[in-house]
């Protein structure tokens, strides 16, 4: 084939291959490609920040993880096995922590963020949700909703790993919950060796994107798009939707006992004791990520 013929074939490729296949191939590549090490990594877009003991761990675009052992005066890049953007990070202690991000990736570190390993990705997450939906179907009270859930889960498998996880809450070195786009939610009770779908335990029939999850004792709160709020009073086993005072999207929240990290433009509502099925909208405030990066101690708070 001459040079012009080869060029025409290349130009026609996007039209001959289904878009989903092209996107899946691209995502698959980033899931198997380690984050590129760069002397300019500290200038990358960073999306979340956490403490691992005295160490600061920041995560962001293209799988970049930065570490600081001098309270942010200097940073160095960690080794990461994927190059998808990472959206959230949290540690149980000075050693064990998780990071989540695009393509449904879940990473774990056992050495304070120095090295990371993949525990879950979008392909496996979709398969887990399909299996959970099938297991729950026979005993479901609302059979129509259960069938719709299974159909949605099967589409997740066919779509490939293109759904991001957007937030997580780490209870301890064994227990963590992650949430993300299209209502995806998973929990681990064994340090990430296995993950269980929580989709069927959250009252979210429209599959709203879930942007934040917070915990205070046995009470958990999830927040998402279009004013979506849900609360659990049984330790995170089931979540009931709340009437929301705000129609816009909420994004990340932390309990008053942990350091605050808010994305720019986030709207946060204060509710001192959300004991009813309606969330209050007292004292709306805005917190910026750069302000939160002024390395407040773990007991600092912004607004709740």
Segment 81-105, tens digit of pLDDT: 999 999 999 999 999 999 999 999 9
Residue 36 has a CB neighbour count (10 Å cut-off) of 12
Taking 90 as the threshold, does the pLDDT of residue 70 lie above it? yes
Residue 141, CA atoms < 13 Å, CB-side half-sphere: 2
Q: What is the pLDDT of residues 245-254, one digit of tens each?
A: 888 888 665 5
Taking 60 as the threshold, does the pLDDT of residue 285 lie above it? no
Which pLDDT score, from 0 to 100, does residue 50 have? 97
Taking 80 as the threshold, does the pLDDT of residue 15 lie above it? no
Which pLDDT score, from 0 to 100, does residue 245 have? 86
Quickly list H helices, the chain.
Answer: 3-16, 19-32, 122-136, 143-159, 289-292
Quickly list H helices, 33-173.
Answer: 122-136, 143-159
**Out of 68-72, 127-131, 165-169, 275-279, which region has the weakest mean confidence (pLDDT)?**
275-279
Taking 60 as the threshold, does the pLDDT of residue 181 lie above it? yes
Taking 90 as the threshold, does the pLDDT of residue 173 lie above it? yes
Taking 70 as the threshold, does the pLDDT of residue 198 lie above it? yes
Which pLDDT score, from 0 to 100, does residue 29 have? 85
Domain locations in the chain?
32-120
Domain 32-120: which CATH class?
Answer: mainly beta
Q: What is the pLDDT of residues 220-238, one digit of tens each?
A: 999 999 999 999 999 999 9
Question: Binning pLDDT at 50, 70 and 90, where does residue 167 land?
Answer: very high
Which pLDDT score, from 0 to 100, does residue 276 have? 43
The more confidently predicted of residues 99 and 273 is: 99
Taking 90 as the threshold, does the pLDDT of residue 302 lie above it? no
Which pLDDT score, from 0 to 100, does residue 246 have? 86
The more confidently predicted of residues 267 and 244 is: 244
Taking 60 as the threshold, does the pLDDT of residue 3 lie above it? no
Segment 55-68 mean pLDDT: 97
Which pLDDT score, from 0 to 100, does residue 27 have? 59
Say if residues 64 and 83 touch (Cβ distance below 8 Å).
Answer: no
Say if residues 85 and 102 touch (Cβ distance below 8 Å).
Answer: yes
Percentage above 70 pLDDT, the chain: 73
Bridge pairing between strands 240-241 and 268-270: unpaired
């Amino acid at each position: 084939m001459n040079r012009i013929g080869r060029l025409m074939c290349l130009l026609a490729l996007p039209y001959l291959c289904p878009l989903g296949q092209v996107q899946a191939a691209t995502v698959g590549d980033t899931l198997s490609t380690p984050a590129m090490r760069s002397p300019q990594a500290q200038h990358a877009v960073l999306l979340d920040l956490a403490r691992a003991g005295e160490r600061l761990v920041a995560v962001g675009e293209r799988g970049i993880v930065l570490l600081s052992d001098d309270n942010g005066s200097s940073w160095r890049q960690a080794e990461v096995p994927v190059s998808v953007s990472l959206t959230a990070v949290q540690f149980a202690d000075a050693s064990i922590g998780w990071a989540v991000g695009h393509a449904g990736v879940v990473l774990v570190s056992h050495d304070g963020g120095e090295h990371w390993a993949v525990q879950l990705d979008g392909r496996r997450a979709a398969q887990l949700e399909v299996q959970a939906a099938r297991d729950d179907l026979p005993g479901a009270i609302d059979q129509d909703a259960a069938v719709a859930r299974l159909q949605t889960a099967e589409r997740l498998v066919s779509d490939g790993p293109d759904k991001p996880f957007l937030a997580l809450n780490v209870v301890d070195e064994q227990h963590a919950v992650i949430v993300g786009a299209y209502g995806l939610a998973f929990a681990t009770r064994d340090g990430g060796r296995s993950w269980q779908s929580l989709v069927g335990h959250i009252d979210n029939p429209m599959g709203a994107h879930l942007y934040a999850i917070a915990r205070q004792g046995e009470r958990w709160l999830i927040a998402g798009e279009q004013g979506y709020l849900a609360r659990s009073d049984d330790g995170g086993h089931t979540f009931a939707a709340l009437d929301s005072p705000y129609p816009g999207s909420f994004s990340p929240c932390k309990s008053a006992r942990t350091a605050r990290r808010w994305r720019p433009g986030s709207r946060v509502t204060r509710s001192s004791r959300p004991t009813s099925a309606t969330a209050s909208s007292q004292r709306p405030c805005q917190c910026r990520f750069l302000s939160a990066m002024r390395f407040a101690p773990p007991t600092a708070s912004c607004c709740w």
